[in-house]
């Protein structure tokens, strides 16, 4: 029996996605081009594309064309390998619903490439980096933060570092001695506890409720702590905002205890109902808050650029610490490119565009994940961020659910892993930013359901 032509095309495209010939985000030939290349009717090519789009392998973007969906290749490659009884030799890096990854298909690559090319020719890009950061970038960050996050600071207060861990590491050099207690949120971003433990801090998990960090509990557990690391705009991972009364209580505690607060504003730009909340730093009149931001979420994580905004009174201490830091200095070229991106208004435009896009993608995936409700998994409604929290009432531990999902190519994480004692709420964390279409969302939700219910 001969296989219909449209099916042959369908199979070939899937094979090419699996073996990497077709990369995620790559534009497919137009229907007309494909039909003429293969000498087939346009309707045949259309039938193949329709099925591939319907199953989530391709994404149709109207006049812009049809593209290979993100995250499909790994699942396909692994599925193909296991069908043939072959274990993949490389560890699988599942990407489906991966957390914290911006929408790679919506990144303005041409513009970025143009800015990189221009700066690559500039003499300054070849200079050794300044430990505290490229001065024009420090100035551009200060201006951006004042406009968009109500963070009042001068360029001198901004220190550019290679990613969040380096920013927190720099803070600990100035504000913490081995053995000092430091509050962290529970559940909270696991890297925070790791960085603090590595410098010898006594890490004190403080619970989070609907209003964010339970400050009174922190005071009860470690009144004399020297540091509190919090995510006030959008708690990581639960997504709640730190309430106003809690903000005031936290600042009051820091004043009394002569402690510092690290405000990790990793994705504060992304809030979908109303305006993003002003930063906690904007309420600080006593130089207690050290504000941390990263370009990983708005631009891309491979950039490895983040920053700390430190109180005026601490600038010299941070200058000294960054000069002797083993991690000081980021590539001048990319700092200069990001400075251009900010100064020329591209950053603000990109954030605005992504806010609309993410609101839509978030809604799309939330709707699709309703198929998990009969299985005891419910998406929680939150205002901001780049991921969904799916609460579980299932009998199995969430780590087991995450393991099953990961084996099927998903990069979802177990919520309980984010609590230092593993005793936090049960659920899954799933990124929505790279799920481009309704069809892809539905397809992924069904696959996730199947992966979770099968043992």
Ligand X SMILES: Cc1ncc(COP(=O)(O)O)c(C=O)c1O
CB of 297 to ligand X, least distance (A): 7
By DSSP bridging, strand 260-264 and strand 289-294 are parallel
Report if residue 189 touches ligand X, rule: CB under 6 A. Answer: yes
Decide if residue 266 touches ligand X (CB under 6 A).
yes
Q: How far apart are CA 343 and CA 272, in angstroms?
A: 25
Nearer to ligand X by Cβ, of 236 and 426: the residue is 236
Q: How far is the CB of 193 from ligand X (least distance, A)?
A: 12
DSSP 23-59: -TTPBPPPHHHHHHHHT--HHHHHHHHHHHHHTTSEE
Q: Residue 101 CB, nearest distance to ligand X (Å)?
A: 9
Q: Can you tell me which of 233, 236, 335, 426 binds ligand X, judged by CB under 6 A?
A: 236
| Residue 296 contacts ligand X per CB under 6 A | yes
For the CB of residue 2, give the shortest distance to ligand X in the complex, in Å: 50
Please write down the long-range contacts of 27-30, taking CB distance under 8 Å and 24 or more positions apart: 27/65, 27/66, 27/67, 28/58, 28/65, 28/66, 28/67, 28/68, 30/65, 30/66
Positive or negative, the CA dihedral 154, 160, 165, 166 is negative
Residue 387 C-beta: closest distance to ligand X, Å: 9
Displacement of CA 134 from its chain's centroid (Å): 24
Tell me: does residue 163 bind ligand X (CB under 6 A): yes
| Candidate residues 233, 294, 322, 433; the one interacting with ligand X per rule CB under 6 A | 294
Scanning residues 22 to 81, which ones bind ligand X (CB under 6 A)? none
Count of residues near ligand X by CB under 6 A: 13
* Residue of the chain from 78, 130, 180, 264 that contacts ligand X (CB under 6 A): 264
- Whether the CB-CB separation of 206 and 188 falls below 8 Å is answered with no
- Under the criterion CB under 6 A, does residue 185 sit at the interface with ligand X? no
User: What stretches of 84-214 show up as alpha helix (H) in DSSP?
Assistant: 109-120, 135-149, 164-175, 190-198
By CB under 6 A, is residue 397 in contact with ligand X? Answer: no
SS3 413: strand
231 is an interface residue for ligand X by CB under 6 A: yes
Instruction: Compare residues 234 and 442 and give the one whose CB is closer to ligand X.
Output: 234
**Contact (Cβ atoms closer than 8 angstroms) between residue 239 and residue 188:** no
Nearer to ligand X, 72 or 231 (CB): 231
Minimum distance of ligand X from residue 259's CB (angstroms): 20
Q: Could you say which residues in the range 80-109 bind ligand X, by CB under 6 A? A: 100
For residue 384, list its beta bridge partners.
271
Say how many Å lie between the first and final Cα of the chain, rounded.
36
Q: Which stretch binds ligand X (CB under 6 A): 217-225, 294-302, 320-328, 422-430?
A: 294-302
For ligand X, the binding residues (CB under 6 A) are: 100, 163-165, 189, 231, 236, 264, 266, 294, 296, 301, 306
């Amino acid at each position: 029996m001969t296989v219909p032509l449209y099916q042959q095309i369908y199979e070939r495209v899937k094979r090419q996605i699996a073996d990497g010939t077709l990369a995620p985000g790559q534009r497919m030939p137009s229907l007309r081009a494909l039909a003429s290349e293969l000498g087939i009717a346009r309707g045949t090519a259309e039938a193949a594309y329709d099925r591939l789009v319907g199953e989530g392998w391709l994404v149709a973007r109207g006049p812009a064309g049809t593209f290979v969906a993100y995250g499909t290749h790994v699942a396909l490659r692994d599925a193909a390998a296991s069908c043939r009884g072959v274990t993949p030799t490389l560890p699988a890096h599942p990407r489906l619903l991966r957390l914290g990854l911006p929408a790679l298909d919506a990144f303005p690559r041409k513009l970025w490439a143009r800015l990189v090319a221009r700066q690559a020719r500039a003499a300054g890009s070849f200079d050794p980096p300044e430990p505290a950061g490229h001065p024009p970038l420090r100035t551009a960050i200060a201006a951006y933060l004042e406009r968009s996050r109500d963070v009042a600071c001068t360029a001198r207060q901004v220190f550019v570092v290679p990613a969040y861990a380096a920013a927190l590491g720099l803070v600990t050099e100035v504000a913490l001695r081995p053995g000092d207690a430091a509050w962290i949120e529970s559940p909270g971003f696991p890297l925070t506890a790791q960085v603090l433990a590595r410098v010898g801090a006594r890490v004190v998990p403080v619970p989070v409720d609907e209003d964010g960090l339970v400050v009174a509990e922190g005071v009860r557990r470690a009144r004399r702590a020297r540091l509190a690391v919090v995510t006030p705009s959008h708690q990581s991972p639960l997504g709640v905002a730190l309430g106003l009364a809690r903000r005031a209580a936290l600042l009051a505690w820091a004043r009394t205890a002569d402690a510092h607060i690290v405000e990790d504003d990793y994705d504060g730009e992304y809030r979908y109902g109303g305006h993003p909340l002003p930063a906690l730093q904007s309420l600080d009149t006593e130089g207690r808050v050290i504000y941390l931001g990263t370009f990983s979420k708005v631009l891309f994580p491979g950039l490895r650029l983040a920053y700390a905004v430190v109180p005026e009174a601490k600038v010299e201490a941070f200058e000294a610490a960054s000069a002797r830091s083993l991690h000081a200095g980021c590539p001048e070229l990319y700092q200069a490119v990001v400075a251009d991106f900010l100064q020329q208004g591209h950053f603000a435009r990109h954030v605005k565009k992504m806010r609309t896009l993410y609101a839509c993608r978030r809604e799309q995936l939330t709707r699709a994940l309703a198929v998990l409700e009969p299985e005891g998994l419910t998406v929680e409604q939150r205002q901001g961020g780049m991921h969904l929290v799916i609460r579980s009432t299932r009998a199995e531990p969430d780590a087991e659910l995450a393991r099953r999902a990961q084996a099927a190519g998903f990069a979802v994480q177990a919520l309980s892993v984010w609590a230092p004692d593993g005793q936090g709420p049960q659920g899954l964390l799933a990124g929505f930013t790279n799920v481009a279409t309704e069809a892809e969302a539905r397809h992924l939700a069904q696959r996730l359901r199947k992966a979770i219910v099968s043992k």
